[in-house]
């Protein structure tokens, strides 16, 4: 799964891999261009996040394996900010390894369709179906360092988030092995579960841009 742990990274100071072979397929190049256009559109809508977006674009342009977790410098990940029809509740996971309440999400594993990744992870981590994509545009972007875990060295996650809707009900939730719990959290309680900056940002974006 892809989740923020520390918030002290400075995106504009990131150092990127260089000298990668130019052997990408035409389909991969097309998907990269589509993601780049989404990032440019996101930057125009959220100019205060310009440095973060430019770092993501630079990484995308310079790194052929940017969707693959085998790239130990870092990789793109896909996350789902799942809200209910009233926008009063957010579906969150209590991540077992990190012991944090977080949005649903995970590794792309070479898949360049990050919206598809976000939807797959939402289904796998909650057991729910019937998700509705509220926008195919990027909802939020976060770049964060992941600390070393076992034999996996520290690296960066370039997390692309999408806003998705589902009907609130606890009856059909199935908690995966990766979580202590998965539950609908009221928007007023989200920051009590996790006060990180990106949570504040996504709550605000939901209120401003996706009122019921």
The answer as to whether 177 is a domain residue is: yes
The answer as to whether 50 is a domain residue is: yes
> Tokens 């792309």 correspond to what residue?
108
Average the pLDDT over 13-39 and give the result: 69
The answer as to whether 10 is a domain residue is: no
Instruction: Take residue 190 and report the two structure tokens written for it.
Output: 């989200």
The answer as to whether 161 is a domain residue is: yes
At residue 24, the pLDDT reads: 59
At residue 148, the pLDDT reads: 85
Average the pLDDT over 159-184 and give the result: 87
Q: Alpha-carbon distance 1 to 47, whole Å? A: 28
The answer as to whether 46 is a domain residue is: yes
pLDDT digits (tens, 9 = 90+) for 122-168: 999 999 999 999 999 999 999 998 888 888 899 999 999 999 999 99
At residue 141, the pLDDT reads: 98
The answer as to whether 13 is a domain residue is: no
What is the share, in percent, of the chain residues with pLDDT greater than 90?
Answer: 68
The answer as to whether 5 is a domain residue is: no
Domain count within the chain: 1
At residue 71, the pLDDT reads: 92
At residue 100, the pLDDT reads: 87
Residue ranges making up the domain that contains 173 = 24-209
Question: For position 93, which CATH number holds?
Answer: 3.90.79.10
At residue 22, the pLDDT reads: 52
- Beta bridge pairs of residue 76: 158
CA nearest neighbour of 108 among 97, 120, 99, 98? 120
Give yes or no for residue 171 having a pLDDT over 80.
no
The answer as to whether 195 is a domain residue is: yes
């Amino acid at each position: 799964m892809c989740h923020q742990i520390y918030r002290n990274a400075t995106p504009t100071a990131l150092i990127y891999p260089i000298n990668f072979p130019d052997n990408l397929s035409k389909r991969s190049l097309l998907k990269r261009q589509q993601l780049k256009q989404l990032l440019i559109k996101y930057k125009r809508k959220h100019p205060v996040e310009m440095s973060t977006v430019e770092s993501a674009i630079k990484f995308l342009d310079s790194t052929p394996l940017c969707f693959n977790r085998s790239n130990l410098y870092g990789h793109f990940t896909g996350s789902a900010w799942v809200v209910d029809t009233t926008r009063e509740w957010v579906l969150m996971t209590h991540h077992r390894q990190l012991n944090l309440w977080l949005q649903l999400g995970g590794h792309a594993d070479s898949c360049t369709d990050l919206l598809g990744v976000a939807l797959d992870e939402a289904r796998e981590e909650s057991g729910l179906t019937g998700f509705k994509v509220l926008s195919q545009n990027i909802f939020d972007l976060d770049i964060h360092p992941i600390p070393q875990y076992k034999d996996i060295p520290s690296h960066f996650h370039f997390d692309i988030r999408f806003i998705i809707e589902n009907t609130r009900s606890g009856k059909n939730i199935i908690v995966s092995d990766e979580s202590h719990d998965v539950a609908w959290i009221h928007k007023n309680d989200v920051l009590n579960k996790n006060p990180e900056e990106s949570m504040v940002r996504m709550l605000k974006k939901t209120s401003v841009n996706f009122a019921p």
